[in-house]
Structure 1
Amino acid sequence: MPTRRRVGIAGAVVGAASAGVAAAALAKRYAVGRIRLRADLEASEPFGELRGRPATVRTSDGVELYAEVDGPEDAPLTIVFCHGYTLNLDSWHYQRRDLRDTHRLVFWDQRCHGRSTRTPAEDCTIDRLGADLAEVLRTLVPGPCVLVGHSMGGMTVMALAERHPELFGDKVRGVALISTSAGKLAELTLGLPALFSKVVHRAAAPAVSLLGRRAALVDKGRQAGNDVSFLVLRYLGFGDATKISPTVVDFAESMIRSTPTDVIADFYPALMSHDKLSALGVLDKVPTEIIVGDKDWLTPPEHSRAIHASLPTARLTEIEGASHLVLLEEPETVTGAIARLVERALEAGAGDAMGEAV
């Protein structure tokens, strides 16, 4: 299909969406107003305010990755958290809050996200993120660890496994893969009829690329936030929109909004071309938790089931009614699974040590 025609379709899709949004603006404003008047149990939660000991990891290509170390330094094992696409290390708020008193934690902003520095588009790849994670481990994790990855962060863990399989079983004692995929994201139907889904996928790439080239203009419109973005994230990022806290939605939306448009555009092709199914065998060396919401439309449960099929010894947890931002929507379940993973990793490590002693 000629480039001009592809861009034309993309423009039509974006234009139609814009027209629909404009027509329904008043109704949406009314809906948001009603939502915000409801009781909000998370209104006083200090999202984005929990801080650890700051650190900088300088990568082999000169990027400065921002990181924070939290919790007791004498803990027997470190938990390393890898955040998702368009988010940052603060997305692990609940996990930090509930684990920091008893576990050593490392959080880091993936390149181009949060406080980490920007890179050219050609360096925005999943393989490069895996290399970054290796450097985070080398710099900030002196002993054994478990890795926790959400969405793109899970892909980062898979890229590490592909590039550095020798780390798994010794350095890396366990893995949690949350709302992620080993590949074939470009085949998602997004709940649409097959034919329309194909049109949307064809239109999406040039549309995202076009937005990237006009990033400065687009970002000006995004910075203030609006009712539309609130409602879209509320219904697409979370499973039960009637129960999710507006404060949690605002927090997630603020992280997404702070991610520059050209960064979103630069990483999009990497996500669509991601294929690390062959690397999953490496994870079979260590205890693995796989967690997904059964209403996740970005990385549907089928993708977690495919990972589980390659890792039969892993534990698969499908959380009823939850969607892609399950770490914020069902934090107790996610944090509990991470805590169990740490216990399994420590038990496995103790067993290995006894075996060596014998």
Structure 2
Amino acid sequence: MSTRRTVGIASAVVGAASAGVAAATLAKRYAVGRIRLRPDLEASEPFGELHGRPVTLTTSDGVSIHAEVDGVEDAPLTVVLCHGYCLSLDSWHYQRRDLREDYRLVLWDQRCHGSSARAQGKDCTIERLGEDLALVLDELVPGPCVLVGHSMGGMTIMALAEQRPELFGDKIRGISLIATSAGKLAELTLGLPALVSKVVNVAIPTAVSVMRRSGALVDRGREAGTDLSFLALRLLGFGDSKNVSPTLVDFVESMIRATPSEVIADFYPALMSHDKLTALDVLNKVPTAIIVGERDWLTPLDHSRAIAAAVPTAQLTAVPDASHLVQLERPDTVNEALRDLLKRAERENL
């Protein structure tokens, strides 16, 4: 084959590929553009603008933890809110807005997230998060409290239950576990067909390794791919994605993008190896509310059912058409369940 012909074929292939990429990019932008043109009921919601009294705590391994104390200082109960993987304390926006008038609130950024400091990779474990939560309780919660955890935050509470069971029924008067799991996350299918899910699960460890080695480069790519991230988050994070507020999706995406790739990679093995099913019996000492979206692909309904089976005294609320970010997607339903839990905890406190 002549050099000229080879170059011509190569040019045609590159041209076709470029055209395909361009077409995909235009389609993606068109889809996002259409979504953003729809009425947005949350467009004026002050996401990330609610604040309390800032506090900095230092863990036993020297990591600075950012926390905020909000609400009614002399309330009979303190509500401690533990956020999820790749999020921050701002992910409790609607719960803070609703509960701050009646309760004392403590919100905190888990290590390596939000405004808390980075830790070494070896210290990015669920066990360490449990120790950090114990520090938050020792330093910022002088009286009885209710713990609320979303996703990884729920795992943090489970780690505390394993480490400090004596706190439950004494200082800790109630628990809410939202969209979380007691283990076996490595078996998730993400709603994909079995073969596709198997391929994805094989590819993820390689992707995590790349994120750990080349975090800065990956982060630049994440920044450039905001339209694709918007669509992916809208699909995976929100069950009723057709009606979810674009402003809310942007808000969550900003928290995720603010989490460095190295942090995502450092915590991934801890999440996949998490197994705290045997620690859950401790929760039978206190009123417990389990809340999950019925369309949660990341911590599916079956995982919450498994927790409920291990904690037969718990109340399970499955929210129709909601997904992993149920506390943001269906705040009224979640807040109603939390207020019911708080009332039960208050009765226990009398």
Deviation digits for residues 253-274 of structure 1, max 9, x if unmatched? 0000000000000000000000
The 3 A distance-change label for structure 1 pair 327 and 21 is farther
Match of 1:339 in 2: 339
Match status 1:202 vs 2:189 = no
Match of 2:3 in 1: none
Give the alignment of 1:85-164 within 5 angstroms: 85-164=85-164
Give the alignment of 1:264-343 within 5 angstroms: 264-343=264-343
Residue 197 of structure 1 and its aligned partner are, at CA, apart by 2.2
Give the alignment of 1:7-46 within 5 angstroms: 24-46=24-46
What is the one-letter code of the residue matched to 1:300? P
The 3 A distance-change label for structure 1 pair 346 and 216 is same
- Output the TM-score relative to the length of structure 1: 0.91
Residue 225 of structure 1 and its aligned partner are, at CA, apart by 5.5
Deviation digits for residues 28-74 of structure 1, max 9, x if unmatched? 10011111111111100000000000001111111110000001110
User: What SS does the aligned partner of 2:285 have?
Assistant: coil
Q: Is the 8 A contact 1:225 1:257 kept in 2?
A: no
User: What SS does the aligned partner of 1:284 have?
Assistant: helix
Larger Rg, first or second structure (1 or 2): 2
Q: Is the 8 A contact 1:283 1:311 kept in 2?
A: yes
Distance 1:236 1:141 in 2: 35
Match status 1:165 vs 2:149 = no
What is the one-letter code of the residue matched to 2:110? Q
Residue 226 of structure 1 and its aligned partner are, at CA, apart by 1.6
Match of 1:181 in 2: 181
Distance 1:22 1:81 in 2: 44
Give the alignment of 1:38-57 within 5 angstroms: 38-57=38-57
Distance 1:189 1:221 in 2: 25
Where do 5+ consecutive residues of structure 2 fail to align?
Answer: 1-18
User: What SS does the aligned partner of 2:328 have?
Assistant: helix
Distance 1:21 1:343 in 2: 55
What is the one-letter code of the residue matched to 2:171? K
4+ residue runs over 3 A deviation: 19-23
Match of 1:251 in 2: 251
Residue 285 of structure 1 and its aligned partner are, at CA, apart by 0.3
Residue 192 of structure 1 and its aligned partner are, at CA, apart by 2.4
What is the one-letter code of the residue matched to 1:278? T
Which is worse superposed, 32-41 or 125-134?
32-41
Distance 2:224 2:173 in 1: 43
Distance 2:184 2:24 in 1: 34
Give the alignment of 1:235-246 within 5 angstroms: 235-246=235-246
Distance 1:189 1:140 in 2: 39
Q: Is the 8 A contact 1:223 1:258 kept in 2?
A: no
What is the one-letter code of the residue matched to 2:212? G
Q: Is the 8 A contact 1:21 1:228 kept in 2?
A: no
What is the one-letter code of the residue matched to 1:339? R
User: What SS does the aligned partner of 1:181 have?
Assistant: coil
Match of 1:260 in 2: 260
Deviation digits for residues 214-264 of structure 1, max 9, x if unmatched? 101111232356211111111110001111100000000000000000000
What is the one-letter code of the residue matched to 1:217? L
User: What SS does the aligned partner of 1:223 have?
Assistant: helix
Task: Report the count of equivalent residues.
Answer: 332
Residue 23 of structure 1 and its aligned partner are, at CA, apart by 5.2
The 3 A distance-change label for structure 1 pair 80 and 276 is same
Distance 1:233 1:197 in 2: 18
* Alignment RMSD (CA, Å): 1.3
The percentage of aligned residue pairs carrying the same residue is 72
